[in-house]
Amino acid sequence: ESEGVHSEKPVCNIYVGMIEYSIEWITGHHHDVKEIECRAMGHPADVFRISKQKE
């Protein structure tokens, strides 16, 4: 999604949503997903942080 795009903040929100839904479907629990590095920001790869949501 970030191919050829330049931005100061992450732009791959569709992947964040897909990862969140997939993990919830697999585990039965919601997890927070945040894109912490994005190719649109000049990073070599998109990197996502996945953490358990506090109950």
Angle (CA) 29 22 47, round 5°: 105
Task: Tell me whether residue 19 is in a domain.
Answer: yes
Task: Tell me whether residue 24 is in a domain.
Answer: yes
For the chain, the domain total comes to 1
Task: Please state, in angstroms and rounded to a whole number, the distance separating the CA atoms of residues 11 and 51.
Answer: 20
Task: Tell me whether residue 32 is in a domain.
Answer: yes
Take residue 49 and report the two structure tokens written for it: 């942080």
Question: How does pLDDT run across 1-55, given as a tens digit for each residue?
Answer: 667 788 999 999 999 999 999 999 999 999 999 999 999 999 999 999 999 976 6
Task: Tell me whether residue 23 is in a domain.
Answer: yes
Task: Tell me whether residue 47 is in a domain.
Answer: yes
Range of the domain at 39: 13-52
Task: Tell me whether residue 7 is in a domain.
Answer: no
What global pTM score does this model have? 0.81
